[in-house]
Every structure is written in C-alpha cells, then in structure tokens.
Chains A and B, each alone.
Chain A
C-alpha cells in the first residue's frame, strides 16, 4: 500500500491527546479524592 498521499490527521491527534489527558486527570482526581476519604473495609 502506498502511503505517500496520506496526510497526518493532526487535528484528530490533538483531540485524542486532549481527550486522554482529560480522562486521566478526571480519573486521578476521583481516585485521590476516594483515597483521601479514608479506608472502608
């Protein structure tokens, strides 16, 4: 397959990077809030 004419979809790449940073940030925030609320057993 000849890829010479395929251009890098930079807009999509940037959106995906922003998306994964947001997911990671929200998840880590929820995770550390959960840990800060103490242990339940």
Chain B
C-alpha cells in the first residue's frame, strides 16, 4: 500500500463501492422530508395552474406594442392625436387611451355587450397606470411606450378605470393622482348598463 492510499481503500482491489453504505450521512427527518414533499407538491400545483390559465384558457400579460415619442402624440398621423374608440368590425373595437396628469383621454368609452376591445395605452408625461376595475385589464402607461391588452366584455355595466401608479398632485388642488379615472360603459342589448356599477 502506497503512502497516498487512504484508510478506506482496505477492501479488495476491484470490488465495487456500495454508495448506500454512507446513506446514514444523508438522513432526513420524517417531518423535514414531509415538508419538503409538501413544498414541492404545492409548487407543482401552482405551476400547473399557471400553465392552464396561460396556455389552455389563454390569459396573457399585457405587452409592449410599440414605441412612440410623447411629443408626437398630437401628430395628426398618430392614432393618439384623437384618442378614443375605433370600430374595426361589428363587436370588435380598438381603444386608444392617453394617460396624463391627471386624467385619461378619453374619459369615457362606450361599447356594446359582448364587444372585444383591444386597448392601446400610452402616457404623455409621467408614468401612469390603467386598471379597469372588475376585470383583468391592468397595464402600466409609460411615456414613450404603447402597451396593449385585449379583453371581451360580456357583462353590461360601468367599469371604472383608474390610475394605479402614483403620479403626484399639486398642494391644495382638488385633483391629483387620486382623482384620475375614467369609465368604460358596457351597454346591454336593452341599452342598460350605465347604471350597473361594477366595483372591485
């Protein structure tokens, strides 16, 4: 035996080393192992649920559609020069929304029940938010970026959209971030809807 051989090398030469011979070193307590399994199981369930909502049901996050220079929002060639609703086809609309201190343009959008609305949202000055209460429409409005999100409105009612990214206020002024909101009114077949407030 050479001087460099360890004391473990006492078994016959060529014999396989049993890896389980040292398993006591990796002993895991019953409760510790149980919670490790629970943590893995919960994570797997959450990932499956997210995959179902994302791939099977089709819930998607808002995306950055384009870049636009805030000073060009008033350019007649820009769709944001006249913010509001555009009808693409019966039941299909585009809504161009400009967020600015401290209001939305337009402040009111009316669509029929069952409409599919694609929102294009940008900000004129500082960072704002666009949260349509009672729905999953939740977008940041950033100067220089056009964000987009599409939603279908099957339930008639009045959906408030609010700024949910703090954008300041003026001391003593009655308006500010907290008063920045608009309304999307989904009108039912009978014309109802404007009175049915959807709250979140």
Contacts and interface: CB of A to CB of B under 8 A. Distances in A.
Interface of A: 1, 8-9, 13, 16, 20, 23-24, 27, 31, 34-35, 37-41
Interface string B57-91: 11110100000000000000000000000000000
Contact of B35 (A8, A16, A24, A35): A16
B60 to A, nearest CB: 5
B42 A39 contact: no
Nearest to B200: A37
Interface of B: 27, 31, 35, 38, 42, 46, 49, 53, 57-60, 62, 134-137, 149-154
Contacts of A34: 53, 59, 136
Chain B binding site: helix, strand, loop or mixed by DSSP? mixed
A38 B151 contact: yes
25 contacts: A1-B27, A8-B31, A9-B31, A16-B35, A20-B38, A20-B42, A23-B42, A31-B49, A34-B136, A37-B134, A37-B136, A38-B151, A38-B153, A38-B154, A39-B57, A39-B58, A39-B152, A40-B135, A40-B136, A40-B137, A40-B150, A41-B58, A41-B59, A41-B149, A41-B150
